Amino acid sequence: MSRPSALFIVFEGGDGAGKSTQVHLLADALRAAEYAVTVTRQPGGTALGRSIRDLVLHGDHVSARAEALLFAADKAHHVDQLIQPVGQAGEMVICDRYTDSSVAYQGAGRALGADEVQSLQMWAVADLVPDLTVIVDISPAEGRRRRGDTHDRLEAEEDAFHAAIRAHFLAMAAAYPQRYLVVDGMAPAEHIHEAVCARLGTLGVHLT
Ligand code: TYD
């Protein structure tokens, strides 16, 4: 298999799962193997996205449909302004959260309907699907323990909300195993990283 230069890799999971650690471990490993890498996140990967992030995570109450539209707007702008151009320039993109977060949090968590939110999200991102989505899986109780006392609007929701989100992520991974990798968020970070590297090997990206 030839060495791909531009893959779109996403990390998803509940709040406190340890995604950010994995994002940075993978970015470092790719850079050490001389790949060009852009690391970004949702919401907030652009200037407009950072304004949306403040509104939706730290503002006053936002109605459920408005919340879904704000997250969709963040993604639409982010894909158009950053993810697509960087990919077309031949760079790896690693994104902390993507469309599955919205389908899980707004669709399953807020009960707006997974199918409706999935359609909205796919329209927003012009059908751009990641090459690989890594689900870092932890229980709601463990997520709450790791977050401690600091919570944004979504993190503050009760465990049933987080359980619905977890179930959605696992269902997506089970339905599309060729596009997903599920890792146990309770495992040591280095072990999780090794599993991610091994999976990338199957896509032609060989990291040591
Ligand atoms: P963030 O601080 O980025 O959390 P984390 O480090 O856990 O990724 O907060 C993002 C929050 O927004 C998180 O609670 C998940 C939520 N979210 C949605 O509800 N819908 C979305 O589409 C996205 C991208 C995030």
**What digits encode the pLDDT tens for the residues 184-195?**
999 999 999 999
Residue with tokens 């992520």: 169
C-alpha of residue 70 to centroid of ligand 1, in Å? 12
**For tokens 């968590």, what's the residue?**
109
Q: Is the pLDDT of residue 1 over 80?
A: no
For residue range 115-126, list pLDDT tens digits in order: 999 999 999 999
* 43 within ligand 1 shell (Cβ under 6 A): yes
Q: What's the pLDDT band for 139 if we cut at 50, 70, 90?
A: very high
pLDDT band at 148 (very low <50, low <70, confident <90, very high): confident
Alpha helices in the chain (DSSP H): 19-32, 47-58, 64-78, 84-88, 99-102, 114-124, 140-147, 159-175, 189-201
Closest CA to 75 of 112, 58, 107, 100: 100
What is the overall mean pLDDT for the chain? 95
Sign, CA dihedral 187-15-83-169, equals positive
Average pLDDT of 66-86? 98
To test the pocket of ligand 1, the residue of 20, 21, 101, 162 to mutate (highest count of ligand atoms within 8 Å of its CB) is 101
pLDDT above 90 (res 41): yes
**Whether residue 96 has its Cβ less than 6 Å from ligand 1:** yes
Interval between CA 208 and ligand 1 midpoint (Å): 30
Is-contact 16 23, C-beta < 8 A? no
pTM, 2 dp: 0.96
For residue 33, the CA-to-ligand 1 centroid distance in Å is 30
